[in-house]
């Protein structure tokens, strides 16, 4: 049987190249597709197509016409839901139960949500006096920032790509998307939906490849890319920021995290356990907002550790299509080796392994997949690398605390600042602690509860800028002033 080919999507057409790379299944490391790598010529062609569409048919559309087409894109994803679901699960290995609930429906919804935002958000209007007494008026006008380079991660490929592409297109921009080399399929498949929905050629383009000396570098250094939005690890973000400095191009960066949860003794115990299970282990811990550090008030500590251990040991590790599967593999064997290196490091640093700490025994060909055990540690000092560095796997360290001030000091003592979860029934404490967390988002008695109208982004090494609602418009548009003398 001919192997599946994943092509670039440029100017409304699928484009093959001579240079390919293999896409391996996370389940058993078998090759499931050949991905056509874009070289400099293909990236140049994609950017040129985006520039032509920006100045051509896309620019001539009214907001209402753009909104109508973006609604059609969302409907097109939902109409082909099973195709997107199969592609996402094949690339990531995640359980279908997760991808069908989160990745695909929310990925589609991003187009409608941001279409509604651009329809309804007002700008400024001011009247002013002039020396001749006739006056003048000033009003704000939002125009697209231009051609936007979109660099996407592999953990939530469709969702986090459309989180950027949705508002970019709603604001009248055109995009060139570089998906992760690990998860190319849904970005490529979306090209078909764009054509079906009547999105003009060149508005949405996809180039496949890697970072250095490949599509990623060619896109981020391209002089005709006007803005760059990125989600991924901090080191890559720093490289992209350096590239964007040439030409003083704006960037929006959502980068790494080493997120903390604080569990007070007065919390709803069952809710705190359920929330921490999800935040530490869902999607095999491959969530930028996930919890890797858990601080539990001392009277609750032993009970919390025991119950978290009991429940996670009941989560089934298995194939995506099994409805009972809670944990799939990691995205690749390369990432598996990274996570396992931290498991080994934790033991070397003196951690008590409460559960996990290695690879699960998988039968047959699955033994070659990127599987790791969900892991809980206790007993490490706060100076340990496992406490300080992002692992991005299904693991967490749990430590006790005695006072609110101590909990805040421990939780904030990290170079990252993306998210936090706070569990308490004390309303005053909830507000007090949440506002003192040095993060972009603090959840109280919840996790991953997202109103897309609210600002999203990180502090410290976790990112620059905010997206979501009107905050996305601040990045994806240039706000201009028009002054009219009366």
Question: Is it the case that residue 223 has pLDDT exceeding 70?
Answer: yes
Q: Examine the domain organization and report whether 277 and 394 are in the same domain.
A: yes
Half-sphere exposure of 212 (CA within 13 A, CB side): 3
Segment 307-334 shows an average pLDDT of 98
Question: Is it the case that residue 295 has pLDDT exceeding 70?
Answer: yes
Q: What average pLDDT does the chain have?
A: 97
Helical H segments across 314-425, by residue range: 333-348, 385-388, 404-412
Burial class (CB in 10 A: 0-12, 13-18, 19+), 239: middle
> Cα separation of 472 and 470, whole Å?
5
Which structure tokens are listed for 331? 């995205």
pLDDT tier for residue 301 given thresholds of 50, 70 and 90: very high
Q: Any idea of the CA torsion for 360, 362, 366, 368, to the nearest 10 degrees?
A: 50
Residue 455 lies in a domain: no
Q: What is the pLDDT of residue 368?
A: 97
Q: Examine the domain organization and report whether 433 and 479 are in the same domain.
A: no
> Cα separation of 199 and 9, whole Å?
13
Q: What is the pLDDT of residue 156?
A: 97
Contact of 142 with 477, CB cutoff 8 Å? yes
Q: What percent of the chain has pLDDT over 90?
A: 98
Tell me which DSSP letter residue 204 carries: E
Count of C-beta atoms within a 10 Å radius of residue 131: 5
Contact of 336 with 372, CB cutoff 8 Å? yes
For residue 173, what is the domain's CATH number?
3.40.605.10
Q: Examine the domain organization and report whether 266 and 241 are in the same domain.
A: no
For residue 386, what is the domain's CATH number?
3.40.309.10
Q: Examine the domain organization and report whether 240 and 304 are in the same domain.
A: no
CA angle 29, 33, 38 (to 5 degrees): 120
Q: Examine the domain organization and report whether 250 and 308 are in the same domain.
A: no
Residue 452 lies in a domain: no
> Cα separation of 15 and 362, whole Å?
38
Which structure tokens are listed for 473? 């418009």
Q: Any idea of the CA torsion for 469, 470, 474, 477, to the nearest 10 degrees?
A: 90
Which structure tokens are listed for 98? 């997760």
Q: Examine the domain organization and report whether 216 and 288 are in the same domain.
A: no
Residue 432 lies in a domain: yes
Residue 451 lies in a domain: no
pLDDT digits (tens, 9 = 90+) for 52-62: 999 999 999 99
Count of C-beta atoms within a 10 Å radius of residue 17: 17
> Cα separation of 478 and 173, whole Å?
11
Residue 416 lies in a domain: yes
Q: Which residues are catalytic?
A: 254
- Its sign, for the CA torsion 7, 10, 15, 20, is negative
Q: Examine the domain organization and report whether 250 and 267 are in the same domain.
A: no
Q: What percent of the chain has pLDDT over 70?
A: 100
Question: Is it the case that residue 1 has pLDDT exceeding 70?
Answer: no
- Residue found under tokens 């982004």: 457
Which residues are CB-neighbours of 415 under 8 A, at least 6 positions away?
258, 388, 460, 461
Q: What is the pLDDT of residue 2?
A: 76
> Cα separation of 231 and 255, whole Å?
6
Q: Examine the domain organization and report whether 195 and 211 are in the same domain.
A: yes
Q: Examine the domain organization and report whether 342 and 384 are in the same domain.
A: yes
Residue 454 lies in a domain: no
Residue 453 lies in a domain: no
Segment 342-359 shows an average pLDDT of 98
Residue 470 lies in a domain: yes
Segment 385-396 shows an average pLDDT of 98
Q: Examine the domain organization and report whether 361 and 471 are in the same domain.
A: no
- pTM for this model (two decimals): 0.96
> Cα separation of 348 and 124, whole Å?
58
Q: Indicate the number of domains in the chain.
A: 2
Question: Is it the case that residue 46 has pLDDT exceeding 90?
Answer: yes
Q: Please provide residue 477's backbone torsions phi and psi, each rounded to the nearest 5 degrees.
A: -130, 160
Which structure tokens are listed for 129? 């006096």
Contact of 352 with 305, CB cutoff 8 Å? no
Q: Examine the domain organization and report whether 69 and 116 are in the same domain.
A: yes
CA angle 128, 134, 139 (to 5 degrees): 40
> C-alpha distances in angstroms, 477 versus 172, 183, 378?
8, 28, 47
Question: Is it the case that residue 382 has pLDDT exceeding 70?
Answer: yes
Domain of 409, in residue numbers: 260-444
Q: Examine the domain organization and report whether 376 and 393 are in the same domain.
A: yes
pLDDT tier for residue 176 given thresholds of 50, 70 and 90: very high
């Amino acid at each position: 049987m001919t192997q599946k080919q994943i092509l670039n999507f440029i100017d409304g057409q699928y484009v093959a190249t001579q240079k390919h790379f293999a896409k391996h299944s996370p389940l058993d490391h078998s090759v499931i597709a050949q991905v056509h790598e874009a070289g400099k010529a293909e990236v140049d062609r994609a950017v040129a197509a985006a520039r032509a569409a920006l100045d051509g048919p896309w620019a001539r559309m009214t907001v209402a016409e753009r909104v109508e087409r973006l609604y059609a894109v969302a409907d097109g994803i939902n109409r082909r839901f099973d195709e997107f679901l199969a592609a996402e699960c094949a690339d990531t290995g995640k359980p279908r139960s997760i991808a069908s609930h989160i990745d695909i429906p929310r990925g589609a919804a991003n187009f409608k949500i941001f279409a509604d935002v651009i329809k309804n958000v007002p700008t400024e209007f001011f009247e002013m006096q002039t020396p001749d007494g006739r006056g003048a008026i000033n009003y704000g006008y939002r125009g697209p920032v231009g051609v936007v380079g979109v660099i996407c991660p592999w953990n939530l490929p469709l969702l986090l790509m459309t989180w950027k592409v949705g508002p970019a297109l709603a604001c009248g921009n055109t995009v060139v998307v570089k998906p992760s080399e690990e998860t190319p399929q849904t970005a490529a498949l979306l090209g078909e939906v764009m054509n079906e929905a009547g999105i003009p050629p060149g508005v949405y383009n996809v180039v496949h490849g890697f970072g250095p000396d490949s599509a990623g570098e060619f896109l981020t250094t391209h002089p005709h890319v006007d803005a760059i939005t990125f989600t991924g690890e901090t080191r890559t973000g720093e490289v992209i920021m350096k590239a964007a400095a040439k030409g003083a191009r704006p960037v929006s960066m959502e980068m790494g995290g080493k997120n903390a949860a604080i569990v007070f003794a007065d919390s709803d115990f069952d809710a705190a356990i359920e929330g921490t299970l999800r935040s530490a282990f869902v999607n095999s811990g491959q969530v930028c907002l996930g919890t890797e550090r858990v601080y539990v008030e001392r009277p609750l500590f032993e009970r919390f550790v025991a119950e978290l251990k009991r429940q996670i040991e009941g989560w089934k590790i298995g194939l995506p299509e099994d409805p009972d599967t809670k944990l799939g593999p990691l995205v690749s064997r390369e990432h598996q080796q990274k996570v396992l290196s931290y498991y080994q490091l934790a033991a070397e640093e003196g951690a008590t392994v409460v559960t996990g700490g290695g690879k699960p025994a998988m039968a047959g060909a699955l033994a070659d997949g990127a599987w790791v055990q969900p892991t809980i540690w206790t007993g490490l000092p706060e100076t340990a690398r496992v406490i300080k560095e992002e692992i991005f796997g299904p693991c967490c360290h749990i430590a006790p605390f005695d006072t609110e001030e101590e909990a805040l000091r421990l939780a904030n003592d990290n170079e990252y600042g993306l998210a936090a979860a706070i569990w308490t029934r004390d309303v005053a404490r909830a507000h007090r602690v949440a506002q003192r967390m040095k993060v972009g988002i603090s959840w109280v008695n919840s996790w991953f509860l997202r109103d897309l109208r609210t600002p999203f982004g990180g502090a410290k090494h976790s990112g620059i800028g905010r997206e979501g609602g009107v905050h996305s418009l601040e990045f994806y548009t240039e706000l201009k002033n028009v002054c009219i003398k009366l």
